[in-house]
Structure 1
Amino acid sequence: MGFSFKKNFEVTKMDYQKLAADILKNVGGKENINTAWHCATRVRFKLNDEKKANTRDIENLNGVITVVQSAGQYQVVIGNSVGQVFDQIAEQAGLENKNDAITEDTGKKENLINRFIAFISGTFTPFLGAMAGAGILKGLLALFVALNWLTTTSGAYQIWYAAGDALFNFLPIFLAFTAAKRLKVNQFVAVALAAALVYPAMVTVATKSLTLHFFGIPVIPTTYTSSVIPILLAVWVLSYLQPVLDKIFPDAVRNIFTPLFSLMIMVPLTLIVVGPIGSGISNILAEAVSGLYNFAPIIAGIVMGAFWQVFVIFGVHWTFVPVMMNNIAKMGYDPLLPILSAAVLSQAGAALGIFLKTKDKKQKALAGSGVVTGIFGITEPIIYGLTLKMKRPFICAVISGGIGGAIIGLFQAHASSFTLPSLLALPTYLGKGFDGVLIGITVAFFLAATLTYFFGFSKETTTIEEKEDNKIIAPVDGIIIPLKTVHDEVFSSEAMGKGIAIVPDKGNLKAPVNGTISAVYPTGHAIGLISDQGAEILLHIGIDTVKLNGKNFETLVKKEQHVSVGENLVSFDLEKIKSAGYDPTVMMIITNSKDYEVITTTETAAKSNWLLELKQK
């Protein structure tokens, strides 16, 4: 009888091909994918049938933080390695494009809110990173000018400003491309439509307030550079026009005449009708946000600072993105983005509190990396890997984010450019209320860390962590007997290692430590695991029970799955095993006991108490 143990928690060494294959298999295969794309931390699927997805199996994969089902999307949270994993998924599924995967339409109608959120997230996600980088660059240039490092007339400033501002100036073109992909219309026709809106001659006419006439119909002079809503409406209208044109023209000329008539109809229609309607909606949204914020900036700070990460969890945060970008386009600033930095930094602070408090090595490693990614704006690994699972740290972060947001709201800080809320975004907050931003995010970060350290851990969690440093808990309830008394020479001779035995009174095998499953036997009678402290443990149910070939056993975990103390590993039918004539005694063996001084408990009953204490030699 041999046992192999392997330990590998390094994400950088992860086999992305294998992880992608496992995810693809467990979402129901390529045929179950309607749409797939990824953002900064998640692979986002729209599945034809979510019931076919094995959520539990996906969550147990090494490299997956969690699964979120929200807003009509099946979201697999990966973390910073999401790009590499998605590339492998796209390649293995034979997808044409590694940024977006689309298969046939299922014909199912989702509710309007879910469809809107999916459309907005799919439209903005592909270039969100580029947009964040461009926004930071504009903020840095403002800082350099304020510090007299550059002047606005210098060549370096003008070149860098062009690099930072180009995306925002020509934003309708970027939005047209990604929106067309989401709505399944010709992307290049949509881009040509957007380019017409920001064409230099049209911009000049609008800025001079001149009125053009299209066959006698006046065109309202409107500037569409940096706008959001007009082009989204225009592409939406195009998505209804293109199928009609495709039906009218035969295959032989469709590739030419559909784009021709799409542009001939949509450009004037957008300039005369769709564009002004979109601009009107934009103005109303901007005025509404500005009015509400000016009326009660502190309340706005509390609500957005406290609940922004809740919005992220449910996926509804995407609905705010076009609003914030519209504010910048219409008012020249956005009041919400600085507040969101408090929400983000509070999660990073909670991760710091966990890092300082926890004794769980894997939890400490995740928290340590989470602090770094959190201050740079990526909070999903913190939320799904730590704070939300532990509950109390998430509440501490919500409270801290609300207080930090209230401070920022009180100072009425503004963002001059759109970028992801984080420390990197600070240059974009220069100007009115900047001192309030610094105070607010500092309070949010350190208050969350302090609250989490002192109140983020339950007594039960703390007790377990104190125990697991050097003590191994009972894996089953029952009567403790010396290992040397069991009727199996391999175990009783301690040839496999020192340990202890329990005559069980319940058919439920639980994890005796926090650790990773290293071996799962098909017959279900044995489990191998490695504790987070490095102890290699074999849990063996019964004597010669391998002969049952898995009958009366149900394995509840998979190899390489991380488990916590008390988590169920195997369910077994105790009475049927005894009726079949087998001894059900459970052996717990430390297979690398040569590395430890093993101390056995003096108690006689096993019931969630410690049975073995290990001291490093």
Structure 2
Amino acid sequence: MIKNIVLYNQNCNSRMKKNNFEEETNSMPEKKYEKIAEEVLQKVGGSSNVKYLEHCSTRLRFNLVDNSKADIEGLKAIKGVMAVIVNAQFQVVIGQDVTEVYDVLAKSVTVGGAVDVKEPVKTKKGFKKYASIFLDFLIGVFNPLVPALTGAGLVKSIFTILVTAGVLTKNDGIYQVFIAASDAVFYFLPVIIAVTTAKKLGCDKIVALAIAAVTLLPAFTTAVASEAGVSIFGLMVPNYSYSSQIFPAILTVVLMAAVEKSFRKVCPKPLRIILVPVVCFLVVTPISVLFLSPLGFKMGELFTAGLLSLHSSFGWIIVAILGAILPFLTAVGMHKPLVPYATAAFASTGFDYINAPAKIAHNISESGACFAVALKTKDADYRAVAFSAGISAFFGISEPALYGVTLQNKKAMAGVVIAGFISAMVTSLLHLRSTVMMGTGILGIPQFIDPANPNNLYVALLGYVLAISISFAVTFLLYKEEK
């Protein structure tokens, strides 16, 4: 796998050496966005070949009607494209200008699964095919949550710091307002999940939100919790608290998408706008409150129990291994399945013991390795690439370091892997946990401020120091300039 990663990134590395890295990724004129978007759209087979499009912090993520219509080599040759990755999704790595390129692309294609096209050509068989479909579904549902979750996490961290420093008290109105704003993201997670799931499945997002919101409606929850309870068709509605839950909304919207799609086929077109939502409400709502939402709640309980058991038994081993292999997972786009885990972990327990410690170890290790390469290389252009990529990794974006430096040099990658393993292992053994969902660069330090455990912050700082110092030292000792 490492060999294949290196091969498909060699073109990217040679191009980045020939062009000033900062000019290509940090100060791209607006007209360049349009040019890149136009070329990318052409090379993926045109707008008619795009079934779904979204973006994360550095990548355009496509679902194509037919992957074979995409010109992968042509995509990698586009100035401004760092790499192309094909697995559960067709990914084009742009870097920090991905949002601007996406905004241009979104004007040319129908986003969110609304376009009526044939299903993608199935090139995989059996387990691999269904695993790929499931992974694509998870990424599509949870990836859009990241900005809201990380933004809310940063707000909560800021006001926690202000209270800890004595600037504010918990009784101050401004504290209560902003803490409520950050808590609202998790409290109303079911309806947010309903929207992203509906977007991924291509069904009506507002109807999905409304049905998912039933279990959070105060009048309904009060009635269900009363002594008399609520019964439908002679069956009692189970009394569970669905705030901050994930699985009930997903199960509900999956059913709604199936009902909507099926009824739309037989419903007369002039009546669809009225009858399709009515049928969705009438069919999906009772099934949701009686069966799917309770089932999803129990799934959440099992997930939490399994998570706690796994961490107590093998936690440090898992975190250490994850810290070591994250560069390869990130390179092929397989790090995104950690987002559903992290979201569920925070929603269920309020903490994350695995994802954040491992990602800190990886990102900061990438930074240290790049700084070592920048110091030792005699190539002025490559020095600029390495230094800029190291800064980017230090602030939490590892792709420029991966594709521009470490994947191209085994000695630098050795520094990243060794430092990632040791740093993640030490912090996990010392029970490091993240209290909110944030990025894992240097700006993510506030997520480790834990009023219940003041030492948690010092453990996190130790992890940062170990990651950057070990990766720098190992890379500096091993690195040799390659011809």
Q: Could you state the TM-score of these two structures normalised by the residue count of structure 2?
A: 0.87
Q: In structure 2, do the counterparts of structure 1 residues 166 and 247 end up closer, same or farther at CA, with 3 Å as the change threshold?
A: same
Matches within 5 A, 1:568-583: none
Residues of 1 paired with 2:158 and 2:109: CA distance?
Answer: 39
Q: Does 2:208 match 1:190?
A: yes
Distance in 2 between residues matched to 1:102 and 1:337, nearest whole Å? 35
Q: How far apart are residue 200 of structure 1 and its match?
A: 2.6
Q: Is the 8 A contact 2:113 2:201 kept in 1?
A: no
**Residues 143 and 336, structure 2, Cα contact 8 Å, conserved in 1:** no
SS at structure 2 position matched to 1:75 = strand
**Which whole-Å deviations, capped at 9, do the CAs of 1:334-377 have from their partners, x for residues lacking one?**
21133122222212222222222223333222322222322222
Q: Is the 8 A contact 1:36 1:101 kept in 2?
A: no
Go from structure 1 to structure 2 and tell me whether the alpha carbon gap of 1:296 and 1:259 turns closer, same or farther (over 3 Å shift): same
Task: Name 1:24's counterpart in structure 2.
Answer: 41
Q: Which has more strand, going by share of residues?
A: 1
Q: Tell me, in whole angstroms, the C-alpha distance in 1 between the residues paired with 2:352 and 2:227.
A: 26
Matched letter for residue 21 of structure 1: E
On the 8 A contact 1:230/1:276 being kept in 2, the answer is: yes
- Find the counterpart in structure 2 of residue 570 from structure 1: none
What SS class does the counterpart of residue 117 from structure 2 fall into? coil
Task: Give 1:188 shift.
Answer: 0.9
The partner residue of 2:449 within 430, 434, 446 is 430
Cα distance in 1, alignment partners of residues 49 and 92 from structure 2: 15
1:458 aligns to 2:480 (yes or no) = yes
Residues 216 and 19 of structure 1: is their aligned pair in 2 closer, same or farther, counting only changes over 3 Å? same
Distance 2:230 2:321 in 1: 45
Q: Tell me how far apart the structure 1 counterparts of residues 280 and 171 of structure 2 sit (CA, whole Å).
A: 42
- Following superposition, the deviation at residue 195 of structure 1 comes to 1.8
> For 2:174, which of 156, 161, 168 is the aligned residue?
156
TM-score of the aligned structures, taking structure 1 as reference length: 0.69
- The superposition leaves residues 215-274 of structure 1 with CA deviations (integer Å, 9 ceiling, x where unpaired) of 331111112222112211111111211122223432232211211121222222112111
Which amino acid is the alignment partner of residue 395 of structure 1?
A
Percent identity reads: 30
What's the offset of the Cα at 1:142? 2.0
Which AA in structure 1 matches 2:412?
P
Instruction: Output the amino acid matched with 1:89.
Output: L
Indicate the larger mover: 180-189 or 145-154: 145-154
* Paired position in structure 1 for 2:472: 449
Match of 1:75 in 2: 91
CA offset digits 1:586-616 (Å, max 9, x no partner) = xxxxxxxxxxxxxxxxxxxxxxxxxxxxxxx
Query: In the aligned structure 2, how far is the partner of 1:208 from the partner of 1:445?
Result: 56
* Matches of 2:473 and 2:423, distance apart in 1: 14
Query: Which one of 212, 218, 221 corresponds to residue 236 of structure 2?
Result: 218
**Higher relative helix content:** 2
Residue identity in the other structure for 1:458: K
Q: Of the two structures, which has the highest relative contact order with CA contacts closer than 8 Å and spacing of 6 or more?
A: 2
Structure 1 residues 306, 274: closer, same or farther in 2, change over 3 A? same
Instruction: Return 270-279 or 413-422, whichever deviates more.
Output: 413-422
User: Considering only aligned residues, what root-mean-square deviation do their CA atoms show, in Å?
Assistant: 2.4
- 1:364 and 1:122 map into 2 onto residues whose CA distance is 37
Q: 1:410 to 1:420 in 2, by over 3 A?
A: same
The answer on whether the counterparts of 1:34 and 1:104 sit within 8 Å (CA) in structure 2 is yes
* Pair 100,449 (structure 1): closer, same or farther in 2 beyond 3 Å: farther
Q: Could you tell me which of 114, 119, 125 is aligned with 1:106?
A: 119
More divergent stretch after superposition (188-197 vs 351-360): 351-360
Which letter does structure 1 place at the counterpart of 2:46? G
- With over 3 angstroms needed to count, the CA separation of the structure-2 counterparts of 1:207 and 1:407, relative to structure 1, is farther
Is the contact between residue 300 and residue 409 of structure 1 (CA under 8 Å) also seen in structure 2? Answer: no
Give the counterpart letter for 2:475 in structure 1: T
Report the CA distance between 1:101 and its aligned residue. Answer: 7.6
Which of 274, 295, 298 is matched with 1:256 structurally? 274
The alignment status of 1:46 with 2:63, answered yes or no, reads yes
Structure-1 separation of matches of 2:221 and 2:163: 28
Contact preservation (8 Å) 2:389, 2:404: no
- Which residue in 2 is equivalent to 1:594? none
How big is the shift at 1:8? 7.0
Provide Cα deviations, 1:400-439, integer angstroms capped at 9, x if missing partner. 1111111111111222222232333322222343322221
Q: How does 1:161-560 map to 2 (within 5 A)?
A: 161-204=179-222, 211-339=229-357, 340-431=359-450, 432=453, 433-455=456-478, 457-458=479-480, 461=482, 464=483
Q: Distance in 2 between matches of 1:147 and 1:210?
A: 49
Give me the whole-angstrom Cα distance separating, in 2, the residues matched to 1:416 and 1:438. Answer: 15
CA deviations on 1:561-595 (whole Å, 9 max, x unpaired) are xxxxxxxxxxxxxxxxxxxxxxxxxxxxxxxxxxx
Note if contact 1:175-1:228 (Cα within 8 Å) is conserved in structure 2.
yes
Q: CA deviation at 1:18?
A: 1.4
Question: Is 2:49–2:65's contact at 8 Å kept on the other side of the alignment?
Answer: yes
In the alignment, the residues of structure 1 paired with residue 228 and residue 356 of structure 2 have an alpha-carbon distance, to the nearest angstrom, of 37
Amino acid in structure 2 at the alignment position of 1:368: F
- How far apart are residue 96 of structure 1 and its match? 4.1
CA distance in 1, matches of 2:162, 2:222: 31
| 2:329 alignment partner, SS class | helix
Match of 1:60 in 2: 77
1:39-87 per-position Cα deviation (integer Å, ceiling 9, x unaligned):
110111222332332222222222111111222x221111000111122
CA contact (8 A) 1:122 1:182 kept: yes
